[in-house]
Amino acid sequence: MARVGTTVVFVCLAAFGAAAGAQTQAGTAAAPAPAQHAVVKSGDLKWGPAPPSLPAGAEAAVVTGDPGKPGPFVMRAKFPAGYRVPPHFHPTDENLTIISGTFAVGMGDTFDEASMHALSAGDFVRMPKQTHHYAMAKEPTIIQIHGTGPFAITYVHAGDDPRKKTTTESK
C-alpha cells in the first residue's frame, strides 16, 4: 500500500513539473523575481512615535513597504504594559505576530478584558477586514503587523479616536 502511495506522489510531482515546464516553453513567463531582497535586523529598525491614529504611548517601525500606500507592508509596534487600543476595525485584513511580551485581543464593540485571548511570543492572529476588535499589552510588548495597504483604523466609538481628541482632553 505504501508503494502505491509513493508511486502516486511521484506521478503527481512529475506531472506538475512537466506542466510547469510546458507553460514556460509555450511562452508563459515564469513569476517575476522580487524587486529586491531585504534583510532587516531588529537592531536596525528606526523606531518613532506611532501614528496619531493610535493612542499615545506606542512606538512604531516600518520594516518594509509603506502601510499608507497600496501594496504589501510589514511594520512593528511597541507598547508599554497596560497599553490599550479601544474597539476598532480596518478596511483590510490585519495579521499580527507577537514578537515579545503578552498581547491580548478581543472581539466586539465593547472593551471587555475578561473575554480577551492572551497571545505570547510566536503566536499569530488574523482579523479579517471590518472585524470589530480591541487589544491590550499585558506587559511591554512588540507585535509585527503585515498586510496590504493602505492600512487604516476606524474606531467603533468616535470618542475613542485619538485624532479627534483636543489637547485639553488628552491631559
pTM for the complete prediction? 0.76
- CATH fold of 44-164 reads Jelly Rolls (2.60.120)
Neighbours of 44 (CB within 10 A): 9
**Consecutive sets of 10 residues in the chain, 171 residues long: mean pLDDT of each?**
40 36 43 72 95 97 95 97 98 98 98 98 97 98 97 97 73 45
Q: For residue 123, give the H/E element and its range.
A: none
pLDDT score for 37: 83
pLDDT score for 167: 57
pLDDT score for 2: 47
φ/ψ of 154, rounded to 5, equals -125, 125
Cβ pair 48, 59 in contact under 8 A: yes
- Quote the CA–CA distance of 146 and 74 in Å, as a whole number: 4
Cis previous bond, 150, omega within 30: yes
Place of cell 523575481: 33
* The length of the chain, given as a count of residues: 171
pLDDT score for 166: 66
Reduced to 3 states (helix: H, G, I; strand: E, B; else coil), residue 35 is coil
